[in-house]
Amino acid sequence: MGKKREDNIRQFTHKYSKVCVDNNAIDAGLFDEYGVKRGLRDKNGKGVLSGLTNISLIKSSEEVDGKTVPCEGQLYYRGYNIYDLVRGFQNDGRYGFDECAYLLLFGKLPDVEELGDFKRILAYSMTLPTNFVRDVIMKASSGDIMNSLTKSVLTLASYDDRIMDMSLDNVLRQSLMLISVFPMLSVYGYHAYNHYECDESLYIHRPDPRLSTAENLLRLLRPDMSYTPIEAKVLDAALVLHMEHGGGNNSTFTTRVVTSAGSDTYSVIAAALSSLKGPKHGGANIKVVQMMEDLRRNVEDVSNENQVREYLYKLLNKEAFDRSGLIYGMGHAVYSISDPRAKIFKAFVEKLANEKKRHAEFELYSMIERMAPEVIAEKCRIYKGVSANVDFYSGFVYSMLDIPLELYTPIFAIARIVGWSAHRMEELINVDKIIRPAYKSILTLKPYESLKDRSTPKIDGHEDKVYQLPMN
């Protein structure tokens, strides 16, 4: 009966999905007719203004002689240029995650005492409920670590007797706890999958409260808990650069929307995670790595610019890889001339590539970064410039760090939860109103027909067959 049940359901859904398409398709021309901004963005790429924020600033254009012209991309955390922030902790030989997290959450750079207090609070919060790893993470393991992470976050809510307390001190407490435990939830979720689904050895390491977030990530992941200084420094830079990127990106906007409904912190972060996992958002770096693997399989000499260029043409012509017509890692919804995160990250990537003896791969990435905008400009009608985004290099970095593909997007989440938390608190402090944009209805009104008077629907030119689904 099980096979028959599955076959019936499959036939039904295959058939009636076409009905869904027929009755839900909207003429694309109507979006222009009614002035609807698809994706809440103008055709020139400018986003529809939907809120105010004091957390970060993204700059991709400037006014010159009364005209808006593209400029080198700039990113500011609480008014501080990301270049200066990275240069600051790099010159001091420090890890930057804690400092930048403090900056985003509290709106100011910490002094030595404040930073020390903050690190200690994060360390105190780096604990999970008794038997949580065994009873929650290890059970029903999944190769989709983002779903595992979301499950863990929602389950943590059941251990919190102040779940619906919306006071700022409580929301801050919940946020700090989640920021602290995200590396554990992610890595333990992977270990569970790797053991139960892939038949590999299981090892669960405890984090060291004296170490940075990047160091603990590598410590938790690797069997021998070892890592080199450059590995930890590059991963720390990746976390800082992925930490925040304005209120309009999909997962952060989701955070603000769900917060505006009055939902609890765990539900808000679970919603943000669900948004981030999509390949058009946080999952993009996986696509870059898979695209590069396909390139190596199909290009005889990856050092030959003409052969690589021909492959890029095939990507755009939907003749290679996933036939989407995209060169993954190229272009951004906001930036045109450059993504500052990619420019900063590239220097770290080169250092790590040299240590890992993978400089030839780095040169291939650099070649594509240079050629792809030229190829896209030749083949596509674009309204703004195209440049490499941060996802272009992040997957390459994670592969050099021997981080499994399943953890690429969770690492993005480990960083971005800081930004989500800052935006959630800003929404709670300033806006006591649910976010509810308008949708224009194009519905045609119809008179009601009794059941006996309705015609039998026809699908694929044949009268509909009623499927009798088994009841057991």
> Is the predicted pLDDT of residue 461 greater than 60, yes or no?
no
> Is the predicted pLDDT of residue 202 greater than 80, yes or no?
yes
> Is the predicted pLDDT of residue 185 greater than 90, yes or no?
yes
Question: Which whole number is the average pLDDT over 10-20?
Answer: 89
Residues 6+ apart with CB under 8 A from 443: none
pLDDT digits (tens, 9 = 90+) for 100-137: 999 999 999 999 999 999 999 999 999 999 999 999 99
Banded pLDDT at 24 (limits 50, 70, 90): confident
> Is the predicted pLDDT of residue 469 greater than 80, yes or no?
no
Exposed, middle or buried: residue 245 (CB in 10 Å: 0-12, 13-18, 19+)?
A: buried
Give domain status of residue 453, yes or no: no
Give domain status of residue 294, yes or no: yes
pLDDT digits (tens, 9 = 90+) for 331-346: 887 888 899 999 999 9
Residues 320, 233, single domain; the answer is no
> Is the predicted pLDDT of residue 212 greater than 90, yes or no?
yes
Residue 204: give the domain boundaries: 72-280+406-430
Residues 162, 211, single domain; the answer is yes
Active site residues: 332, 391
> Is the predicted pLDDT of residue 73 greater than 80, yes or no?
yes
> Is the predicted pLDDT of residue 320 greater than 80, yes or no?
yes
Residues 163, 216, single domain; the answer is yes
Residues 85, 99, single domain; the answer is yes
> Is the predicted pLDDT of residue 10 greater than 60, yes or no?
yes
Q: 365: which strand partners? A: none
Give domain status of residue 464, yes or no: no
CATH number for 209: 1.10.580.10
> Is the predicted pLDDT of residue 472 greater than 50, yes or no?
no
Angle at 77 between CA 71 and CA 83, to 5 degrees: 60
Structure-block tokens of residue 215: 């160091």
Q: 67: which strand partners? A: 64
Residues 392, 412, single domain; the answer is no
Banded pLDDT at 66 (limits 50, 70, 90): confident
Give domain status of residue 421, yes or no: yes
Domain tally, the chain: 2
Distance between CA 188 and CA 315 in Å, rounded?
36
288: nearest Cα among 213, 228, 216, 345: 345
> Is the predicted pLDDT of residue 441 greater than 50, yes or no?
yes
Q: 64: which strand partners? A: 67
Residues 395, 410, single domain; the answer is no
Residues 249, 105, single domain; the answer is yes
> What phi and psi values does residue 14 have, to the nearest 5 degrees?
-60, -45
CATH number for 392: 1.10.230.10
Banded pLDDT at 467 (limits 50, 70, 90): very low
Residues 263, 165, single domain; the answer is yes
Residues 264, 302, single domain; the answer is no
Residues 238, 301, single domain; the answer is no
Distance between CA 189 and CA 191 in Å, rounded?
6
Q: Strand 80-81 vs strand 67-77: parallel, antiparallel, or unpaired?
A: antiparallel
> Is the predicted pLDDT of residue 47 greater than 90, yes or no?
no
Residues 310, 253, single domain; the answer is no
Give domain status of residue 93, yes or no: yes
Banded pLDDT at 458 (limits 50, 70, 90): low
pLDDT of residue 43: 67
Give domain status of residue 466, yes or no: no
Give domain status of residue 276, yes or no: yes
- Secondary structure (DSSP) of 263-332: --HHHHHHHHHHHHTSTTTTTHHHHHHHHHHHHHHH-S-TT-HHHHHHHHHHHHTT-STTSSS--TTB--
Question: Which whole number is the average pLDDT over 347-373?
Answer: 95
> Is the predicted pLDDT of residue 466 greater than 70, yes or no?
no
Q: Which helix (H) or strand (E) holds 72?
A: strand 67-77
126-153: burial string, b at 16+ Cβ within 10 Å, e else: bebeeebbeebbbeebbeebbebbbbbb
Give domain status of residue 257, yes or no: yes
Last residue of a domain, one of 399, 422, 447: 399
CB 349 within 8 Å of CB 358: no
The region of weakest confidence among 81-85, 225-229, 375-379, 418-422 is 375-379
pLDDT digits (tens, 9 = 90+) for 227-274: 999 999 999 999 999 999 999 999 999 999 999 999 999 999 999 999
Banded pLDDT at 301 (limits 50, 70, 90): very high
Banded pLDDT at 157 (limits 50, 70, 90): very high
Distance between CA 319 and CA 312 in Å, rounded?
10
Residues 181, 272, single domain; the answer is yes
